[in-house]
Amino acid sequence: MTYNARGRQAGLAKSVLLLGAVFLVTAIAALVVSHLLTSVFERKQEARSPGVRVAKLDEISVDPQPWGLNWPHHYDGWKATAGDKFYGGSSAMPESKLDAQPWLRRLYAGYAFSIDYREARGHAYMLYDQGVTERVTQKPQAGACLHCHGSTNVLYRKVGLEAMGLPADDAALAEDFNMPAVIRGFQELSQRPYQEVLAMLYAVPDGTPDDSEPVFPTPPPGGFTEEFAGKALPEEHALEGDAHPVTCIDCHNPDTMALRVTRPGLVLGMQALAEGDAPVPHLPGVEAWRRGDREQPYDVNADSSRQEMRSMVCAQCHVEYYCAAGDTLEFPWSQGLRMENLETHWASKSFPDGSDFLDYRHGETGAPIFKAQHPEFELWSQGIHARSGVSCADCHMPYETRGATKMSSHNVQSPMQSVNTSCQTCHNVAEAELRERVYRIQETTVTLTERAGAAMTEMLDAILEAQAAGATDTELAPVLELQRKAMWRLDYISSENSRGFHADQEAARILGESMDYSRQAQAAALRLRAGSAPATDDLPREPVEGVTPR
């Protein structure tokens, strides 16, 4: 074979090898692209169908277990609010705030919170912890307390339908939500005794008649002492059926899974807020309704954006409200959402019998007092996050990815437990720095709260001394008004659960006012105790000599 022939043969072999290599690479690339396209398609399909409906849900599906069959990741998150396991029993109860902050006993003197007041636990414990607190077992309470602590919308709807003369059997309850009936039932039950409404809550259907145990244990009847309102339970007392803390149906439509508000307190409170003229720039749905014809009352479910609803479902309970037997539960938003707006609302309110509104009379001084509950929504409304369009769920239920599905975490907790997803999606700052910022805000608020508590304590001592010195009710009336203002502001921030973080400057302002009112009341009381102050006109005074003394 000649040299040229051998060269041509070698070139042909190289061409064949090159062609084979190109074919192999092309085949591998095609397989990779095919796998990628298939994976993308599967992920898109998975994202379109985040849950598989294997359980039928309706308007009496209070028990969350069937929801969990359809949406297991959300259900697991909801259960995680109990921690690693559900801790029931008296030995597992959280720390007493009354022991950690002894001035709280004097703040709440004459009110059931001075008996038992503990740190909050997760949503899993809402019904259990209320059922065992000595505020319920030792003192009479109203059924309105269950407005937030239990899953109550089926009970409200049943009682409301009955009061309206409409069918209220299980079939009718399962078919339609009917907000007017929910509101009517809420109004019917709000002032009834707690234990009566609790028994009714156990008796309504929860969607799983064959299931004998709720997901989380229910409280022992009568708490740990087997008492209601300080009286021993009758021997035959029993609660028939199941009751649940807040569950899926309280925030979601069972047909569409859309967010919805089910609590009448918020529905009516938002109507009152919208009908007023207080600025609410963080609630564009209210501002849009105000610009409209206003032919229909503001409807939080129809007039709020989806982003607003991510706060509204939380605001159903994390708010200030009246919750006792003297009147129907009420959110005080007719004047606006600032602390002063709420105070003005309560100050202008009267009970049905015409008497002035109050939550309780102070057990030491007799002053009429407004009790703040836990105004997280109101304080958040004054902060930078609300004004920036950040919802409650953005921080406390941050988005997470499960497979191809983007979902809100249902393990509702402090954002400090999920800084990466709760905070760093907006703040391009190291986690350690973010934690330090939060710590400084909360440390400042706690320090100011303690100083306001000390000022309140000295104010109470001075008022008691003035009473002991013979000061009359007429003389003490303006002092007790100052006491009410001081204690309302202190309670407003100490009861709010963010330790000032929701609006740190607003929290500091309110605590500063509390200290100021306490000191004004203290000074006025001391004058009443000591009699008229001596004249000061004859005291020597140095004349002005210039910037630098001689």
In this predicted structure, what is the pLDDT of residue 41? 47
* Cβ 338 vs Cβ 350: under 8 Å: no
Burial of 458 (0-12, 13-18, 19+ CB in 10 A): middle
The one-letter amino acid at 108: Y
User: What are the structure tokens assigned to 360, written together?
Assistant: 């309780």
User: What are the structure tokens assigned to 450, written together?
Assistant: 């303690």
Q: State the distance between the two ends of the chain, measured CA to CA, in whole angstroms.
A: 124
User: What are the structure tokens assigned to 160, written together?
Assistant: 């409301």
Q: Strand pairing partners for 227?
A: 232
| Calpha distance 327→320 (Å, rounded) | 15
Query: Nearest-CA neighbor of 244 among 73, 59, 65?
Result: 65
Query: Nearest-CA neighbor of 251 among 337, 331, 177?
Result: 177
* Cβ 451 vs Cβ 515: under 8 Å: yes
Helices 284-291 and 264-275: crossing angle, nearest 10°? 50
The one-letter amino acid at 339: M
Dump pLDDT digits (tens) for 524-542.
999 999 877 788 888 998 8
Give the position of tokens 């009381």.
Answer: 525
Q: Strand pairing partners for 402?
A: 405
* Cβ 373 vs Cβ 323: under 8 Å: yes
User: What are the structure tokens assigned to 94, written together?
Assistant: 């959280």
Average pLDDT, the chain: 92
CA–CA–CA angle 524, 525, 531 (5° rounding): 90
Max CA separation in the chain (angstroms): 136
In this predicted structure, what is the pLDDT of residue 389? 96
Strand 231-232, strand 227-228: pairing: antiparallel
Query: Nearest-CA neighbor of 393 among 373, 415, 417?
Result: 415
In this predicted structure, what is the pLDDT of residue 513? 98
In this predicted structure, what is the pLDDT of residue 237? 79
Alpha-carbon distances of 346 from 143, 279, 331, 332, 341, rounded to whole Å: 21, 19, 10, 7, 9
Concatenated DSSP letters of 465-502: HHHHTT--HHHHHHHHHHHHHHHHHHHHHHHSTTTTGG
| Calpha distance 259→313 (Å, rounded) | 7
Give percent of the chain with pLDDT exceeding 70.
Answer: 94
The one-letter amino acid at 122: G
261: left (phi over 0), alpha (psi -120 to 50) or beta: beta
Average pLDDT over residues 265-288: 97
Query: Nearest-CA neighbor of 177 among 258, 241, 112, 105?
Result: 258
Dump pLDDT digits (tens) for 324-333.
999 999 999 9
Choose the weakest-confidence range: 230-244, 360-374, 388-402, 465-479.
230-244
In this predicted structure, what is the pLDDT of residue 10? 66
Residues in the chain: 550
The one-letter amino acid at 460: L
Residue 91 phi, psi dihedral angles, 5° rounding: -70, -15
* Residues near 93 by beta carbon (within 8 Å), at least 6 away in sequence: 118, 129, 132
Concatenated DSSP letters of 196-212: HHHHHHHHS--S-TT--
In this predicted structure, what is the pLDDT of residue 40? 47
In this predicted structure, what is the pLDDT of residue 23? 77
* Cβ 338 vs Cβ 383: under 8 Å: no
| Calpha distance 320→331 (Å, rounded) | 6
The one-letter amino acid at 116: D
Give the position of tokens 């509950």.
Answer: 373
Choose the weakest-confidence range: 90-99, 235-244, 405-414, 454-463.
235-244
Choose the weakest-confidence range: 163-177, 225-239, 348-362.
225-239
Dump pLDDT digits (tens) for 145-204.
999 999 999 999 999 999 999 999 999 999 999 999 999 999 999 999 999 999 999 999
Burial of 405 (0-12, 13-18, 19+ CB in 10 A): middle
| Calpha distance 235→367 (Å, rounded) | 40
In this predicted structure, what is the pLDDT of residue 536? 87
Q: Is the pLDDT of residue 260 over 70?
A: yes
* Residues near 504 by beta carbon (within 8 Å), at least 6 away in sequence: 383, 441, 444, 445
Query: Nearest-CA neighbor of 375 among 337, 413, 408, 409?
Result: 337
Q: Is the pLDDT of residue 47 over 60?
A: no
Dump pLDDT digits (tens) for 127-154.
999 999 999 999 999 999 999 999 999 9
| Calpha distance 39→45 (Å, rounded) | 10
Higher pLDDT, 459 or 234: 459
Higher pLDDT, 218 or 45: 218
In this predicted structure, what is the pLDDT of residue 454? 98
* Cβ 420 vs Cβ 428: under 8 Å: no
* Cβ 114 vs Cβ 104: under 8 Å: yes
| Calpha distance 216→88 (Å, rounded) | 10
Residue 39 pLDDT grade (very low, low, confident, very high; cuts 50, 70, 90): low
